[in-house]
Amino acid sequence: MKALVTFAVATEFAPWRQLRGFRPIVLSPHPVYEAAAGETAVRVVLTGMGAENASRAIRAAMEEDLPDVCISTGLVGGLKPVYRACDILAARWVGEASGRSEMESSAELLRAAAACGAHVAELFLTSERVLVESQEKLRLGQMADAVEMESYPVLAEAARHGVPAVAIRAVSDTCETDLPYDFSRAVDARGRIRLAGVLAQVARQPQRLPALLRVARDARRAAESLAVFLDAYVGSLALQPSPCELEFPVAATGAAASHSSKRRPWLPPRPSKCALVCTAARVAWSSSRFPSRRLPTAKCSFAWPPAVSAEPTSRKFSMDLCRRRRSSGMRWPAQWSRWAAA
């Protein structure tokens, strides 16, 4: 199985890169890394921050090598008080902050994420900028669970290519946290955070430096938690159904869901007509050679499943028949003789 995983910036990817030992394949314009997780071949693309950069990067990655599954991951800002730092969230829906459109995650990939310990969130909002004030986060929390900047274009491009996708992210800052600086002003044209842009804001407001260090610490811990989760999650994808069996789109009708929940009753394997004929011939041969132990007249009927005789054979005859079967090298099930003689 081939999995395509997208991060926005290198700092989000750094703990997993060190844990799994990814090797660089492409360095520009969008860095690409590869590694193997169990039976899953993983390709990581660093898209850069923002929907426009993510759309260009994922489109180029899809056109170069179409994956079996796609995972949009990285850090996310929590919008509800229930979510704390380092929590792993898997989104059922991903929508634009403007509310114009939404994309649904693959149901199979979502269930696999929940089985690995992720919290299933109803909606991620893809914003065009970094949210700084906690009041704005609480206001958006009335309609969504978390906010990020790249998942919607990633899932939209995956849907265009028919690839099952899911958004899985780690909470770096909660809804009560005010960011000390506006990181959107420090982002360059390729979606990378410029250190010079951050230092310029620190120089203007140095009193907020301790808050910046706390935010950086929480972001590092969230990235480490995400790395541990992704390592287990991606490795488990090889145990899931093949990608052609994944539902896409994942919205299932009630009839389909009820049909899949019904299980057919178990039946023993149906023997071929030739096997039943051979069984009847062996029983007839045994009856002619041992008249005193003659079985009832065989009925060469091929109805399935066959009825079992109400009058079982004697224990002495069954033991003798088993001895003859072992000595002659027969490998046909002994119960077929009873079915054929019924």
Q: Which residue has the tokens 């929480």?
A: 218
How confident is the model at residue 237, as a pLDDT?
Answer: 84
Whether the per-residue pLDDT at 308 is higher than 90: the answer is: no
Q: How far is it, in rounded angstroms, from Cα 21 to Cα 47?
A: 20
Q: Which residues, in sequence order, are CB contacts of 3 under 8 Å at separation 6+?
A: 37, 40, 41, 42, 43, 67, 68, 69, 70, 71, 234, 237
How is residue 105 annotated by DSSP? Answer: P
- By three-state DSSP, how is residue 236 classified? helix
How confident is the model at residue 256, as a pLDDT?
Answer: 34
At 79-119, the pLDDT tens digits run 999 999 999 999 999 998 877 888 999 999 999 999 999 99
How confident is the model at residue 203, as a pLDDT?
Answer: 92
How is residue 336 annotated by DSSP? Answer: H
Q: Which of 9, 2, 254 is nearest to 130 (CA)?
A: 9
Q: How confident is the model at residue 193 (pLDDT cuts 50, 70, 90)?
A: confident
3-state helix, strand and coil shares in percent for the chain, rounded to the nearest 5: 45, 20, 35
Q: Which residues, in sequence order, are CB contacts of 64 under 8 Å at separation 6+?
A: none
How confident is the model at residue 235, as a pLDDT?
Answer: 86
Residues 124 and 76: beta-carbon distance below 8 Å: yes
Phi, psi (degrees; rounded to nearest 5) at 72: -95, 120
Q: How far is it, in rounded angstroms, from Cα 183 to Cα 130?
A: 7
Q: How far is it, in rounded angstroms, from Cα 82 to Cα 93?
A: 18
Q: Which of 14, 12, 6, 144 is nearest to 83 (CA)?
A: 144
Kindly report the CATH class assigned to 2-254. Answer: alpha beta
The residue among 9 and 332 whose pLDDT is bigger is 9
Q: Which residues, in sequence order, are CB contacts of 35 under 8 Å at separation 6+?
A: 20, 21, 22, 23, 42, 44
Q: Which of 6, 317, 326 is nearest to 166 (CA)?
A: 6
Q: Which of 331, 261, 8 is nearest to 151 (CA)?
A: 8
Whether the per-residue pLDDT at 12 is higher than 90: the answer is: yes
137 burial class (0-12, 13-18, 19+ CB within 10 angstroms)? buried
How confident is the model at residue 183, as a pLDDT?
Answer: 85
Helices (H) and strands (E) counted in the chain, each on its own, are: 11, 10
Residues 9 and 20: beta-carbon distance below 8 Å: no
Q: What percent of the chain has pLDDT over 70?
A: 70
At 111-159, the pLDDT tens digits run 999 999 999 999 999 998 888 888 888 888 888 999 999 999 999 999 9
Whether the pTM exceeds 0.85: the reply is no
Helix (H) or strand (E) holding 23: strand 23-26
How confident is the model at residue 319, as a pLDDT?
Answer: 52
For all residues of the chain together, what is the average pLDDT? 78
Q: How far is it, in rounded angstroms, from Cα 31 to Cα 45?
A: 6
The residue extents of the domains of the chain are 2-254, 273-340
At 223-282, the pLDDT tens digits run 999 999 999 999 888 766 554 444 444 433 333 333 333 333 444 445 555 565 666 666
Residues 232 and 116: beta-carbon distance below 8 Å: yes
Per-residue tokens: 68 = 């079996």
Per-residue tokens: 14 = 């750094």
24 burial class (0-12, 13-18, 19+ CB within 10 angstroms)? exposed
